[in-house]
């Protein structure tokens, strides 16, 4: 029985708790990844770009710049619910 003691020092309750904690951490990182994927971003398409959410096009000659116009568009059209 002496050999088994090390293992038994971690009680089943403690092991279940650790297991639960590990699952929570994994779930949180998965949710964070999904949230990131859902965030509006620019998609490249046939030389132009468009919004990943609503497909609004952003031609390469957008003023002042595609990224600037897109940032404004996201703020107005896809304000994150918080
Ligand atoms: Zn959009």
Å from CA of 42 to ligand 1 middle: 9
Å from CA of 11 to ligand 1 middle: 52
Count CA atoms closer than 13 A to 51's CA, side-chain side.
Answer: 18
- For residue 55, what is the DSSP state? -
pLDDT band at 4 (very low <50, low <70, confident <90, very high): low
Sign of the dihedral through C-alpha 64, 66, 71, 76:
positive
The answer to pTM > 0.85 is no
Percent of the chain, pLDDT > 70?
A: 85
Å from CA of 71 to ligand 1 middle: 10
Å from CA of 52 to ligand 1 middle: 7
């Amino acid at each position: 029985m002496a050999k088994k003691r090390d293992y038994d020092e971690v009680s089943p309750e403690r092991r279940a708790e650790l297991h639960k904690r590990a699952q929570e951490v994994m779930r949180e990182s998965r949710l964070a990844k999904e949230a990131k994927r859902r965030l509006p971003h620019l998609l490249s398409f046939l030389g132009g770009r468009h919004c990943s959410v609503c497909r609004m096009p952003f031609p390469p000659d957008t003023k002042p710049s595609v990224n600037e116009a897109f940032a404004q568009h996201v703020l107005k059209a896809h304000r994150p619910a918080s």
